[in-house]
Structures are given as C-alpha cells and as structure tokens.
Amino acid sequence: MSQECIFCKIIAGDIPAKLLYEDDEVLAFNDISPQAPTHILVIPKTHISGPAALTDADQALMGKLVKTGTTLAEQAGLQDGFRLVMNNGERAGQTVFHLHLHVLGGRPMTWPPG
C-alpha cells in the first residue's frame, strides 16, 4: 500500500469506485473518465508502479490481470472486439503509477494509437 497512490486508496475503500470484480489478488472497476463506452481498469491489489516494475514472481499475476480483463470484456458484450492497454511511463501516457490494464470497447478503434 502506497500512501499517495489513488488506486491503493480505491483498494482500501478510501475512494469510491464502481467495482466490477474483486478477489484476493485483483480488483476491477470502471474508469472515472471513460475513453470508450466500456472502459474498465484491472489492477493488482499489491502496489506495483507499472509494467516495467513487474518481476519474474509477478508472471502469474500478470496473466490473471489479462484473463480477468478478457472475462470482463466478454461480460460487457465486447465479443466483436476490445482493446487491452498498459501505459508505461509519462511519455506513453501513464498518469497513475500503480499497474493497471485498460479494457476498452464498444466503439470502432483505429491503429496506430495516439
């Protein structure tokens, strides 16, 4: 738990969020500023600052984040397509330094991303 981390505060229940899934290891909730009709964030309950901070010991956890994200995408009716995104570092658009997987869908998407 990081005192300053907004996602650690959501895990602790100190900041409200629309929770979609929770177990011992991961939490999923709606993004406060959705960039698509469905915009879910899936986070680990341990504070990891971002993708580059993952260690070998986190491999199963990382797989679980992706699997949770795809299950929630299915539950949201996104079988036609959805996007999973992880930003690493400010230059890539990371603004919250607690690892999170974005699950985006419900509208057509273009490539390359901005």
Rule CB under 6 A: is residue 15 a binding residue for ligand 5GP? yes
Site string for ligand 5GP, 24-53 (x = CB under 6 A): -----xxxxx-------x------------
Residue list 68-87, contact with Zn ion (CB under 5 A): none
- CA geometry: angle 4, 9, 27, nearest 5 deg: 130
- Separation CA 106–CA 11 (nearest Å): 26
Cβ neighbours of 14 (radius 10 Å) = 9
Rule CB under 5 A: is residue 8 a binding residue for Zn ion? yes
Burial 74-92 (b: 16+ CB within 10 A, else e): eebebeeebebebbeeeee
Partner from Zn ion, ligand 5GP, none binding residue 29, C-beta < 5-8 Å depending on class: ligand 5GP
Q: Is 100 a catalytic residue?
A: yes
Nearest approach, Cβ of 85 to ligand 5GP (angstroms)? 7
- Separation CA 94–CA 29 (nearest Å): 18
Partner from Zn ion, ligand 5GP, none binding residue 82, C-beta < 5-8 Å depending on class: none
Give the active site residues: 100
